[in-house]
Amino acid sequence: MNFKRMWAMFRARNHEFFRDRAAFGWNFLFPFLLVGGFALIFGSNRYNVYKIGVFPLEDKPVKAEFLQLPEGFRDQKNFEFIPFTTGREGVDKLKHHKIDFLVKNASPGNEYWVSETSQKGYIIEQLFNSSLIRTEHKVNGRKREIQGYEIRFIDWFFPGILAMNMMFSALYGVGYVVVRYRKNGVLKRLKATPLTSFEYLTSQMLSRNFLIMFTLLVVWIGCDLMFSFQMNGSFLDLTLVFFLGSLSLTSLGLILASRGNSEEFTSGVINFISWPMMFLSEVWFSLEGAPQWVKYAAEVFPLTHLLTALRAIMNDGAGLIDVAGQIVVLAVMSVAFLIIGSISFSWN
């Protein structure tokens, strides 16, 4: 492995990117538009389905006969009841906006918990108390205080936008570009040089990671000035996780680029992988209440482990030891994807 050749390819790819003003500008503008747009649309939590946590319950999925709640509340449309064995588990999900409302099953005082930062929670609270007034109770339920810091929806949502932008930048910035090089004959000319496939792919991966981290820094500072995000963990830990996640996503893009010779086909394959990854990795919404097989399927994607670690550090103040499992998975995926891409790579 020759570092001088890798450095030359690294610099060449960076110069190419910075000279492409359209692509350069869009990499900065796209996440700003997403954060601002979703903050306006989803910041008020206008969804059709309301997730109600109920404890203590053991049965999954929840059966109606196990719900000892006010009838008018239990029979509401668009309510999805999610069981929890303990109240602590339910409160933790409530603080992280994975559910909208938490109620204790068969509680004589009709105890409930709701996040003050959730507008959906406010609506459910009104419906819950209204259903009690219409029954023999004639009084509101007993509202319990949530202990600890309440996470705003935008604080939960922001890591997902950053990770999604990283995913598209990694897959298209490597997979699509390398295929274009192959189609234009650039790779055929590089094949005549001493450059090896491993050196070429490694330089492409490092170049894309440098650009992703640079873009990430600018986007983070700009969005933080507008929305004042809450950061409870270490910026150093967060940077390491971002870097590992970027490596993993970029190396996945190298596999997509290893054989393709059609930009249209490669674009279709990238969409085929990126969209399920985006929906199943909890970028936009929580998978709480989804079938167990869906949650298992989500573990296949590097974006899932990246987001789990990012939100733990940003929202909960977790350290590297707390997210060691996700770090190991991302590191293993990065190495495995790079090796597979190098073995299957074709210059022609």
**Looking at the chain, which residues constitute the CATH 3.40.190 domain(s)?**
50-143
The amino acid present at 133, given as its one-letter code, is: I
Rounded distance between C-alpha atoms, residue 247 and residue 249, angstroms: 6
Rounded distance between C-alpha atoms, residue 59 and residue 67, angstroms: 11
Rounded distance between C-alpha atoms, residue 54 and residue 80, angstroms: 10
Per-residue pLDDT, 69: 85
Task: Read off the pTM.
Answer: 0.66
Rounded distance between C-alpha atoms, residue 271 and residue 177, angstroms: 15
Per-residue pLDDT, 283: 84
Rounded distance between C-alpha atoms, residue 267 and residue 276, angstroms: 15
Average pLDDT across each block of 10 residues of the chain; the chain has 348 residues. List them in order: 68 64 56 58 53 80 73 80 88 85 86 83 85 67 66 81 87 79 80 79 82 86 81 90 91 80 74 83 78 85 92 88 93 90 78
On whether the CB atoms of residues 266 and 256 are closer than 8 A, the answer is yes
User: Would you state the CATH architecture of domain 50-143?
Assistant: 3-Layer(aba) Sandwich (3.40)
**End-to-end CA, the chain:** 21
Per-residue pLDDT, 19: 64
Q: What would the 3-class secondary structure string for the chain be? A: CCHHHHHHHHHHHHHHHHHCHHHHHHHHHHHHHHHHHHHHHCCCCCCCCEEEEEECCCCCCCCHHHCCCCHHHHCCCCEEEEECCCHHHHHHHHHCCCCCEEEECCCCCCEEECCCCCHHHHHHHHHHHHHHHCCCCCCCCEECCCCCCCCCHHHHHHHHHHHHHHHHHHHHHHHHHHHHHHHHCHHHHHHCCCCCHHHHHHHHHHHHHHHHHHHHHHHHHHHHHHHCCCCCCCHHHHHHHHHHHHHHHHHHHHHHHCCCCCHHHHHHHHHHHHHHHHHHCCCCCCCCCCCHHHHHHHCCCHHHHHHHHHHHHHHHCCCCCCCHHHHHHHHHHHHHHHHHHHHHCCCC
